[in-house]
A and B are shown apart, each in its own frame.
Chain A
């Protein structure tokens, strides 16, 4: 069998391994600027806008987590709403005991990460379809169990205490900054995680699991780590949700609708890239704002578009951009470059991750 001989016929010294196709230092600076500008928003825009942005932050965080699970670790979970709900309830419970909900947020995230461990033990050995359903059942079970405790609102829920005496404008501002912080931490965290060894292991697993195992990659450990991180991330999103809605209702925070949103946003934006959920969230927010009064419609449209994208444009919107413009804002892959200016097109190693 003959491989394309060009790459293998050249001596190794003529190749460099780089992390990205173009110089992306400027993207890092750009991102920083964006974050700084966003941080100023409460001073310059109306609270209605910041409220919408908080929603966007929640969706983006959840979508990024779902992307991590499905796009990188190959785990299709239809039960992440379990962590969203748990995150919200962690905050509620802590607030009922006197903690500030904002302070409770990181605790909720960690708590959900811990809660992910027994769940992982239950579902880790299942095949994809059964894994999906099992996570769904776990989420439904979690909700039913929580509903039994009337001290935290039972089946009807209760308002979130801990904001008494806080000026409403200040509250929206703090909520907004909390949302921004969660999103930035989530995205940066995922980027660093994937850029490092874990990313390499996950890509190897994705390409050929048996080969990955035999070369020493700790497949189970890698997946568990991803599941825990995703649990924590969704928990943080749930905590944000509780804070932004000022109440916690089981039916609302454990709704499978969150998974629908996470999944569709990720698929439409582009599965398997960090930028994908960002693009997808933008689409989602636009859709939601334009169809605000037709509540069920935006989910219908989102669902239909997700189906179409899955069947015909597998790499999503970002995938289209990526293919044509060769840009990665979050470079986590590796490229093999001849020591020329540009790497050769199809001769380079497959770009994944």
Chain B
């Protein structure tokens, strides 16, 4: 299979989440320059790229914490570009933010309860989260500041899950965590997704992303440089797209430039 140009997907697949020609600025800085992508239901869509490539900005814009200068965000066919972040969350777009960002003065259980306050109906409950992460039940009254990084990450994921999202956004899960811990957390992804979730993740660790993703999207300085499935992309292509090197064009390969 050859990498598809510009996020176009096989016909007949309606995307759950879609971004069209997104242009995002930070003040005068153009952080995203015409990004388009489509996430199909049930996928694990991974966005990779170097620091400053615009990955987190993309996620933040999708979730509503940042307003685009141009372009749109579609969720389940509806234009949500102007919808406030909390309303997007209740519609089913829930993010686990970069750096966990747990509520520090709240206990583990209270964090989960807050996550569940405006939840959609669905299979995820606090109980179920306790079942999945065994240690949490006993330490549920602990203040989150006392947890290790990995534990905090799972609480953050749990907090997002109890809202019963339809698409779960994971922003840099691996940040500040030991590789073993990261692998273990990513290892739980199939279990999490068994309930019918779609996942859009941003990851600095490329090999980790390649391991879990069904679709890869590489950003460089705000533009798309590569889109495709892990199976159809070579390591050289990824490296070229990641660092922006002029790559020797291999047959069937098409490193992408986004529209300027």
A interface residues (Cβ-Cβ under 8 A, vs B): 1-4
How long is the Cα–Cα vector from A3 to B221 in the complex, in angstroms? 11
Does B222 belong to the interface (CB within 8 Å)? yes
Chain B residue with the shortest CB-CB distance to A347: B28
Instruction: State the main secondary structure of chain B at its contact with A.
Output: loop
Binds A, one of B29-37, B88-96, B97-105, B108-116: B29-37
CB pair B28 A2 closer than 8 Å = no
* Chain A hits for B30, CB < 8 A: 1-3
* Chain A hits for B31, CB < 8 A: 1
Q: A1-B52, A3-B28 are in contact. List 8 more A-B contacts (CB 8 A).
A: A1-B29, A1-B30, A1-B31, A2-B33, A2-B221, A3-B29, A3-B30, A4-B28
How long is the Cα–Cα vector from A1 to B52 in the complex, in angstroms? 8
Interface 0/1 of B176-193, CB less than 8 Å to A: 000000000000000000
Chain B residue with the shortest CB-CB distance to A1: B29
* Chain B hits for A3, CB < 8 A: 28-30
* Chain A hits for B28, CB < 8 A: 3-4
B interface residues (Cβ-Cβ under 8 A, vs A): 28-31, 33, 52, 54, 221-222
* Chain B hits for A2, CB < 8 A: 30, 33, 221-222
How long is the Cα–Cα vector from A1 to B49 in the complex, in angstroms? 13
* Chain A hits for B54, CB < 8 A: 1
* Chain B hits for A4, CB < 8 A: 28
* Chain A hits for B221, CB < 8 A: 1-2
Chain B residue with the shortest CB-CB distance to A2: B30
How long is the Cα–Cα vector from A278 to B221 in the complex, in angstroms? 47
**Nearest-Cβ distance from residue A20 to partner chain B, whole angstroms:** 23
* Chain B hits for A1, CB < 8 A: 29-31, 52, 54, 221-222
How long is the Cα–Cα vector from A38 to B224 in the complex, in angstroms? 66
How long is the Cα–Cα vector from A103 to B28 in the complex, in angstroms? 54
**Nearest-Cβ distance from residue A9 to partner chain B, whole angstroms:** 15
How long is the Cα–Cα vector from A50 to B120 in the complex, in angstroms? 71
Chain A residue with the shortest CB-CB distance to B223: A2
Q: What are 10 inter-chain pairs, A to B, with CB distance below 8 A? A: A1-B29, A1-B30, A1-B31, A1-B52, A1-B54, A1-B221, A1-B222, A2-B30, A2-B221, A3-B30
**Nearest-Cβ distance from residue B188 to partner chain A, whole angstroms:** 34
Chain A residue with the shortest CB-CB distance to B26: A1
How long is the Cα–Cα vector from A1 to B33 in the complex, in angstroms? 8
**Nearest-Cβ distance from residue A32 to partner chain B, whole angstroms:** 39
- Minimum-distance CB pairs A-B, first 6: A1-B29, A2-B30, A1-B221, A1-B222, A1-B31, A1-B30
* Chain A hits for B33, CB < 8 A: 2
How long is the Cα–Cα vector from A51 to B33 in the complex, in angstroms? 62
